[in-house]
Structure 1
């Protein structure tokens, strides 16, 4: 006799994974804003872009992380979150190259 799959655990694990993703992106965005807040125009652009990317990812992930329903992107949430993550990495590269940190 094999134990059946418990369908109640998978949605909980998925919600927790999306929450961890949002928490990580929030911390990365806060660090980017802190590093970029030295008063230079490049820093202001990097901070603004980081906040915009974070906001977009938050809107995409919130329904999945709270369990209030599927994301409204037609199954494209993961690629869009990956694109946002790459965008934040590129902003970090701009910070490193411009010597703002």
Structure 2
């Protein structure tokens, strides 16, 4: 594959490594957010609604972790492919589920 404006091959440099590290940081931040949402559910007394929220957070975290690990593995290839729209959409959906569920656990729980 030629670089734009020239006939030399593309040299990605450290870009795939930076992207792998970004996926790992995001996965770690996601885990922390899920744990905080779980803590909020436990502190609120563990009502059925809290347990449902905790379950949704755990499922979103697990789905995001699987998606991130697949992308990290794909980036380890010599010539990594682009991120598919379906996987990107899935990652965004997981983040939205965690954000909404976490916010509901924190703001709608007993004071």
TM-score, length-scaled by structure 2: 0.73
Matched, 1:89 2:94: no
2:36 pairs with one of 31, 36, 44: 31
Paired residue total: 97
**Corresponding residue SS for 2:64:** helix
Contact 2:40/2:106, CA 8 A, preserved across alignment: no
Q: Distance in 2 between matches of 1:49 and 1:62?
A: 20
Larger radius of gyration: 2
Per-residue CA distance 1:14-60 (angstroms, 9 max, x = gap): 10110011011000000011110122111111101100010011111
Tell which has more relative contact order, 1 or 2 (C-alpha 8 A, sep 6+): 2
Structure 1: stretches of 5+ with no match in the other structure: none
Q: Distance in 1 between matches of 2:84 and 2:92?
A: 16
When the two chains are superposed, the root-mean-square deviation of aligned CA atoms in Å is 2.6
TM-score, length-scaled by structure 1: 0.79
Following TM superposition, where does structure 1 have runs of at least 4 consecutive aligned residues deviating by more than 6 angstroms?
Answer: none
1:40 pairs with one of 47, 55, 79: 47
Q: Distance in 2 between matches of 1:6 and 1:74?
A: 22
Q: Distance in 1 between matches of 2:30 and 2:102?
A: 13
Structure 2: stretches of 5+ with no match in the other structure: 1-8
